[in-house]
Amino acid sequence: MPDTQRTRLLIARKVPAAVAKRAETEFHAYVTDADMDAWSVVEFCTKHALPAVLIGKKSGLQAEHIAALPPTLKIVANASAGVDHMDVAAAHARGIVVTNAPDALTECTADFTMLLVLAACRRASEYERIMRAGWGKSFGMTDMLGTRVNGKTLGIVGFGRIGRAVARRAQGFGMRVIYTDIQRAAPALENGATYYESLDAMLPHCQVLTLHVPGGGAPLMTAREFGRLPQGAIFVNAARGGLVDEDALYAALTSGQLRGAGLDVYRGEPNVDPRFATLDNVFLTPHMASATVETRDQMGFTALDNVAAVLDGASALNPV
C-alpha cells in the first residue's frame, strides 16, 4: 500500500511499464496490477485522501461514484480520447477537472482505419484463412477478386483530428475524400476534401464509408443509412460500436448491399455478435486501433502531463 504522506495519484488501470515508472517517480503513485472497478477507486481515493486518479473503462465513474469521491480529489485523468465511460457533467459539478488524451491516438487510429479499409476491400480475412488452411489450389483470373481502393470515394463521418488524418492517408492511396460534420472545416484543414452538410446527402456518394465521431445516443447507422449507400459499398468502424445498429449491419452484409466491412468496435464488446464471425466478407479486430507501444505510452504520458499541470495549480492541458 502507498505512503499516504507522499502518494498523490492512483493509477486505477493497467498501464505500460514506462508510464508506471514515471507515475511512481513523479507522483509516488500507487499503480494497480489489475483494472479496478469504480467503487474500488472511490474507496481507495477516500481512504488515502488523494488529489488525482487515472481511470479506465472498467473504473468509469458515474454520478453516484463521483458523489462519493473525497473533497481532496482535483482531477480525473483519462488516457484515452473518449470519455463516454464516465459522467463528465457530474465531475464538473463537484469542481473536479476531467481530462483526456485527444492527440495521442490520432495517428495510430488513422493507420488502423486504413488497414481496415484495405483489408475489407481486398478480402484480407479470406486470403489469410486460405493460406492457414494450406492453400493448395491455384486461382484463376476471375477468382477471389477484391475491389481496388485507388480511385474510390471515401466518405468520412466526423472530420476532427482522426478524420483528417484518415483523409491524408486515403489521398495517398489516390482516393477521393468527402466528409460530413456539424460544421465545415477551414479550407486549409479540408486539404481538397469535399464537404456535405448532412450524412443523408453524403451517403449515396460513398463507395467506402468510415466513422470518426463519439459514441452515445441512438445508432448513427441504421437500416435506413445503410440503404442509402451505393450497393456494394465498404463500411469501416474504428470509432464506437454503439454508432451502429448491428442487426442492420448484418442484414446489409448478407444481402449484398454492403460488399464488405472492417470492424474494430462492437456494441457488446468485448463480446462480439457471433454472426459476424461467420461472414467471409468481414474483417474483424478486437478494438486495437491504438495498440502500439508508442501510442499507449503517449496516452499514459498525456494523462500524467495533465495530472502534473493541475496538481501544480495550472490549467489542464486537455480539459474535457
Indicate which residues carry an active-site annotation. Answer: 240, 269, 287
Mention every residue, 6+ apart, whose C-beta is less than 8 A from residue 297. 16, 18, 19
Planar angle of CA 289, 26, 309, nearest 5 degrees: 75
For residue 304, give the 3-state DSSP assignment: helix
Tally of CB atoms within 10 A around 229? 23
Exposure of 136 by Cβ count < 10 A (0-12 exposed, 13-18 middle, 19+ buried)? exposed
How far apart, in whole angstroms, are the C-alpha atoms of residue 258 and residue 277? 16
DSSP output for 31-64:
E-SSPPPHHHHHHHHHHHT-SEEEE-STT---HH
The number of CA neighbours under 13 Å toward the Cβ of 57 is 7
157: enclosing H helix or E strand? strand 153-157
Give Cα 43 distance to the centre of its chain: 29
Nearest to 113 by CA among 237, 229, 203, 202: 237
